[in-house]
Structure formats: C-alpha cells, structure tokens
Structure 1
Amino acid sequence: MKKRNSLIALILVLTLVLVACGGNNGKAPANEGEEKTDAETALKIGFVTDEGGINDQSFNQGVWEGIEKAEAELGIENKYMESTDANDYKPNFETLIDEGMEVIIGAGFKMGDTIVEEAKLNPELKFAIVDVDPTAGFDEEENPITVEAPENLLGIMFKQEEPSFLVGYIAALTTETNKVGFVGGQESGIISGFEYGYKAGVDYGAKELGKEIEIMSQYVGNFSDVQKGKAITNQMYQQGADIVFHAAGGAGDGVIEAAKEQDKWAIGVDKDQSEMAPDNVLTSAMKNANVAIYDLIESLVNGEEFEGGTTIYLGLKDQGAVGIAPTSDTHVPQEILDKVKEIEEKIISGEIVVPANEEDYNKN
C-alpha cells in the first residue's frame, strides 16, 4: 500500500513538473509577468502650433523647447503638427489623437474653441492650452463671466503685461529720440497685455526722467506676415522712433530685420531673441513657455494630479515664468538693470499694478 501511494505521489510530482516546463518553452504564459519596455510606457505628448509655426523664434518655439527638454530628460515621446492657418487646428488635433498621443498641448488664443471641443470629445485624454483661459467666457451682453471648463483641459496663462512693463521702462531710459514703437500681431486680450504693459513702463520711465515720450502703436493683423511687420517698423523708424517692441509672433521677425537694417533697437518677445540680431536687440520680454510646459510634463511623469478644469496664471512672482532676457546686460547698463530689479520687486509686492488692457491703462 505504501509503495502504491508513493508511486501515485511520484506521478503527480512529475505531472506538475511537466506542466510547468511545457507549453510555453519554459517561459511564463504570454502577458503574465512580462514588463513593458520603456517605449511602451513612455508618456506620449503631442503639440499643435498656431500659425507662427514651430520655428517662429517666439512662442511656439518656446513650447516646443520645453517638450524637447522633457524628451531628453524624462524619456517622453513627442510629435508636433504645424498650423498654417486656423483651418488646420482641428485636423491637426485629430491626427495626434489618432496616433495615440496621451497629452495634447496647443498654443495660442485662436485655437481656444477648437481645443475645448476636442477635450469634450475625448475625455480619456489630457489637454493643455497656452494663452487661453478655458474658464473665461462672455454672456449675451459680452460681459465677462466664469464658465465650466472640461475637466481634462488645463489653461496656462502668463501675465505678459509684467515683463512688458520692464522692457518699456528700459526703452524709456534708453531712447535718444523720445519716440518708441509697439508692433502687435493680431488684436486680442493677450496682445493688449503686451501693448499696455509696455506703454505703462515707458510712461513710468518718462515720469522718472521728467520728460514725455511718444509711443507709436500698430498691428499687423496676423502673426505670420514678416514683410508687413518689417514695413510697419521701418515706417516707425522714419517717423523718429529708435526703439520698437513687438508682440507679433513670426511677423515680429520683420521687426527685428528692420532694426538690423536701419541700425536701430528692437525689443524681442516670448523668448530671448538676441541671437537674431545681436547688435540690435536691446532686450526681450520673456514668457518662458518652455519652463511652464516642462514643469507640467514632469508633474505628469511623476504621477502628480492633473489640474484639469482650471487655469493657472504665471507672473514675476513665479520664478522663471516671465522676465527680461538674460542677455539684457549686453546693451543695457547695469545701473538701469538694478533699477529694473527694484521695479520687479515692486510689481511682485503689489506696489506697482501693471495694466493689462486699455481701460486699466487709461485709469492711471
């Protein structure tokens, strides 16, 4: 009896061994215990540019630089789609969705309605839009109201009026003709922030110096017409301006070209544009979209909560978010930069309130 029981036990053991070793050539069954590769787990980030394109030396390029840094340091995958006009926005978003992007970023106020629509249609994905507040809307009488944004859409806004005030102050203390200019791309609340922040900074500097400084202002009508941006700037120079600040995206390349050809000063925007004309870019009002986008991606890679349905506003108090170009000391004397630092601290403390639109500017 003992021999029979021992034989049965031996057969059972051999059977278990054969089952364990057979069927899958000694490997665990498919899809069990296998670890995904880095390529399979990498966060997939898509980016849709506005009409300025990926190499606009301005805003779109700043966003893309933040994504590229995240690719190099955080191991994400990425792809961008360039838009030549507003008709490209929707198909570009849909292409990235079809290609499996998990987080899709847009740039520019003109695509606000489109990204809200896409976020609602694709609630399983995460979206972020730079320079749009999806929680802001208007009632039937065009009064501003708060609206409910999709829970999978984050708005990223910058207080562009604050660095614009700083470069306006620099322009006031630098001009020799007491005439300066501003060239905008397309009229909007965003570009108004640049314009009236700049004008307020010029006025502040003029008051400090006890003189009047004339400020010329004109819009291109879009963010891509380089030749029109150049023509407007040349006209301002002919009328006596010796410094022109632009917030015109790709069209602003024409502003800097004109400054270089006329040997005048230009002030760049969104990123440090000194490399475009090292001898003629006085400074730049920077909105460091690269910093904001990298920080967003890093938080997602680290598994932090996505703040969808809200909008964040970044200003001088958010270190690194906005400011003047680090190359400003090439042409701006240190004594002026020291004063700029003092003004920056006054803005952060609330002692100086910078206007972001014409109405607030006219109250001063």
Structure 2
Amino acid sequence: MRFKRGVAVAAIALTSVLSVVGCAKDSGSSDNPSGGDSNAAGCKTVDKPAAASGETTSSTSGATVDGSALKIGIAFDIGGRGDASFNDSAAAGLDKAISDIGVKKENTKELAATDQESEDSKLTRLRQLATEGRNPIVSVGFAYTDATVKIAGEFPNTQFAVVDGFAENAPKNITWLGFAEQEGSFLVGVIAALKSKSCTIGFVGGVNVPLIQKFQAGFEQGVKTVAPDAKIVSKYITEAGDLTGFADPPKGQVAAKGLIDQGADVVYHAAGASGKGVFAAAKDANVMAIGVDSDQYNQKTVADYKDVIITSMLKRVDVAVFDYISAVATNNLAGLPPVFDLKVDGVGYSTSGGKIDDETKGWVEAYKQQIVEGKIKVETTPSS
C-alpha cells in the first residue's frame, strides 16, 4: 500500500446545515461579481483576496509510454459509462490511454454495477475480469473495496486499482486512487457565494457517507469563507447502504426542489447520475446549478440543462485512471501521487459556457493558491 486514507461507509445522519440567516448587500458593491441586474441583492462578501501567484504541478511525467500490451478491465460503479459524471470521468481516462499510449480498444473490457446489487455480484464481476487475464483491473467506486481486496488476494500477479477505496492490510497488488474532493468543492463554493443573489445556497448529496460528506464540507467552507452570513441548506437522497442515491434522477429532482423551495438559487450536487434531476429542478426554477466530477456543461446526456450549469467541480478520475494505467505500463506505481489534489490538478473547476467571468476567476484562483500553499486547510467533514 502506498498510503493510508480511510473511506468508511458507515452512515452518519445529517440534517440540513447552517440555518444562519443570509445577509443582503448593496448591489452596487464591486465585491459581488454575480452579474445580476442593478437591483439584485447578493451575499455580503469579505474583501477580495490577493491575486494568485505560483503554479500547480501536473501529475503526469510526460515520459514515453507503450501500453499496447495491456489488457485492461474496468468495473464501473452504478450508472456505468454514460452517467455524465463519476463513471464517465473514469471512462475518459481509459479512452485517453487508448488514444495516447497505444492501449488497444479490443483489449479492454468494461462491466458495470447494477442497482442494489449484492457483494457477490461485485466479486463475480472482478473475478471474471481477472480470469480472462485482464491486467490491470480498475474498480470505480468505494463500494468495490471489499470485493477488490478479496479478488486481489486470489490473483496476486494481477494489478488492481480502486478509485475512492481504501482498506488496511490489503494485498500489495492494489493501488488506492484517492482525491482531495474537499479542495475542489471549496473552489465551487467560492463561485456559489459570488453568484448567489438570494444568499441561500444548496447542496445535494447522493448517499450520506463520509466520501460525499467531503464534497459537502469543502463546499460549505468555500461558501462561508467568502460570505460568512450565507445560508446553506443540504439534502442527501439516500442513507449509507442504499447506493441508489447515485442513480435516481427523479429523487435528485425532488431533493433539489426542496432546497430551491427554501430559497436556494445555486445548487451543487455530488450525486452521480442523480445530478440530472438536480439540473432539471434548477432549470424548472430558473436558478443556477453546479455539476461534479466531469465538466457537465459539455456532457451530451445533460445537454438540455447546460444553460443553468455555471461550473462543475472537476474530480479528475480521468487523470488518475490514465496515470495509473501509464504507471502499470512502465512498472512505476511508486511514481503516482499519494492523493490527487490541487497541487497535481487532481481536482479543480470548469469554466465552460462563459459564466465564470474574469473577476470571479480571480477570486477562485487566489483561494486555490492559498490551498496549494497550505495557508488554507480544507475540512473533510461538514461543520454540523
């Protein structure tokens, strides 16, 4: 194992957070670049931070890599390729390996999880890929952790990776691909605070587990750093143990509508394919939405809602999957970063659609640099 980081899946019940009353400010102030009309209210913000300086580093080395001999297996989470979010980001990493380092498409195989499947289903899926000689095998999602540990023990000569997973005392042929989701979520929280006119901002989580709470925690901190008096309301679609919260757009729509009814005019989701419902609710109410994982403004499966998507928190699963495949091809797994964070562009934010003006970007980049330099520590658990 390369590092220790826990992704427990025990349920931690949460209620809606931070019922502090929002505070309107004069629309003429230059502190709020929300771009609304001259009569629009907005969140009272702190002073704009100093401009960013310095650069982040890339997680890739740029070395020549030949992946033509690899036979890759991908076990997707619920929703599979086409979820316009988490799985699609992983798929993009595989596609990049095909286009950039010579992996042969015919030597790859993709299998996807189903709603409410048993642990035996995960074991069967991974065992099938290993028995067919797939190497490496990438498990997409923390739900595969236990199954991957078991199958990796049965196939010690096969390399495995788990996106978002971690287990103590696991076989050494498993690589854990972890992210600083809270850091990217902080950045889109900054954007939400600057764009909101009602000063009420919403968060929809797919499943109430510590991993998704990292998104919520960073988002809350970003909002509150910029607009301390903002009101944040949140809702989880399902509790721990019920992973359908990542694949139920109608329930995502209901959850988002509930937050919008409480006054939220910007809603951020970390809910996988259920995010399509969040976007639908935002469009129906003519409010703003923030996507997750992939640049959802450019995702064809949510194209009907792109006009309300102001940004997405980029969780670069594509980068991690591509870098992992490249590392296997070069036999250099030790060269992977211990966590894909802002320093290695493992998380970030999108600017597609032209809704992030230069003023807003200046705020975000300044806070990004402070996080990279360690001046701001982003929390991994919600404040309440």
| TM-score, scaled relative to structure 2 | 0.75
C-alpha distance in 2 between matches for 1:119 and 1:285: 32
Structure 2 residue corresponding to 1:118, chosen from 151, 161, 164: 151
How does 1:118-137 map onto structure 2 within 5 Å? Answer: 118-134=151-167
The aligned residue for residue 110 of structure 2 is 80
Are the counterparts in 1 of residues 68 and 102 from structure 2 also a CA contact under 8 Å?
Answer: no
Match status 1:288 vs 2:316? yes
Shift of 1:300: 2.1
The aligned residue for residue 326 of structure 2 is 298
Are the counterparts in 2 of residues 133 and 311 from structure 1 also a CA contact under 8 Å?
Answer: no
Q: Larger relative contact order (C-alpha < 8 A, sep ≥ 6)?
A: 2
C-alpha distance in 1 between matches for 2:225 and 2:81: 35
Q: More helix by proportion, 1 or 2?
A: 1
Match status 1:231 vs 2:254? yes
Are the counterparts in 1 of residues 235 and 259 from structure 2 also a CA contact under 8 Å?
Answer: no
Structure 2 residue corresponding to 1:198, chosen from 219, 224, 239: 219
Are the counterparts in 1 of residues 136 and 328 from structure 2 also a CA contact under 8 Å?
Answer: no
The aligned residue for residue 130 of structure 2 is 97
C-alpha distance in 2 between matches for 1:113 and 1:312: 21
Match status 1:157 vs 2:178? yes
C-alpha distance in 2 between matches for 1:110 and 1:59: 13
How does 1:166-185 map onto structure 2 within 5 Å? Answer: 166-185=187-206
Are the counterparts in 1 of residues 68 and 101 from structure 2 also a CA contact under 8 Å?
Answer: no
Q: Which runs of 5+ in 1 are unaligned?
A: 1-39, 135-146
C-alpha distance in 1 between matches for 2:69 and 2:295: 31
Match status 1:314 vs 2:335? no
Shift of 1:307: 4.1
C-alpha distance in 2 between matches for 1:90 and 1:264: 42
The aligned residue for residue 371 of structure 2 is 347
Are the counterparts in 2 of residues 155 and 311 from structure 1 also a CA contact under 8 Å?
Answer: no
The aligned residue for residue 338 of structure 1 is 362
C-alpha distance in 1 between matches for 2:144 and 2:273: 17
Shift of 1:280: 0.4
| TM-score, scaled relative to structure 1 | 0.79
Which deviations, in whole Å up to 9, do the C-alpha atoms of 1:4-54 show, x marking residues without a partner? xxxxxxxxxxxxxxxxxxxxxxxxxxxxxxxxxxxx962001000111221
Are the counterparts in 2 of residues 165 and 202 from structure 1 also a CA contact under 8 Å?
Answer: yes
Are the counterparts in 2 of residues 49 and 107 from structure 1 also a CA contact under 8 Å?
Answer: yes
Q: Which runs of 5+ in 2 are unaligned?
A: 1-66, 239-244
Which deviations, in whole Å up to 9, do the C-alpha atoms of 1:275-327 show, x marking residues without a partner? 332210011111111111111112222x233349x982111011x31100141
Q: SS state of the match for residue 285, structure 1?
A: strand
2:371 aligned partner, one-letter code:
I
How does 1:40-51 map onto structure 2 within 5 Å? Answer: 42-51=69-78
Are the counterparts in 2 of residues 259 and 265 from structure 1 also a CA contact under 8 Å?
Answer: yes
Q: What is the total number of aligned residue pairs between the two structures?
A: 301
How does 1:245-260 map onto structure 2 within 5 Å? Answer: 245-260=268-283
Identity, % of aligned positions = 35
C-alpha distance in 1 between matches for 2:332 and 2:102: 19
Find the structure with the greater CA-based Rg.
1
C-alpha distance in 2 between matches for 1:119 and 1:326: 39
RMSD between superposed Cα atoms in Å: 1.8
Moved more, 339-348 or 258-267: 258-267
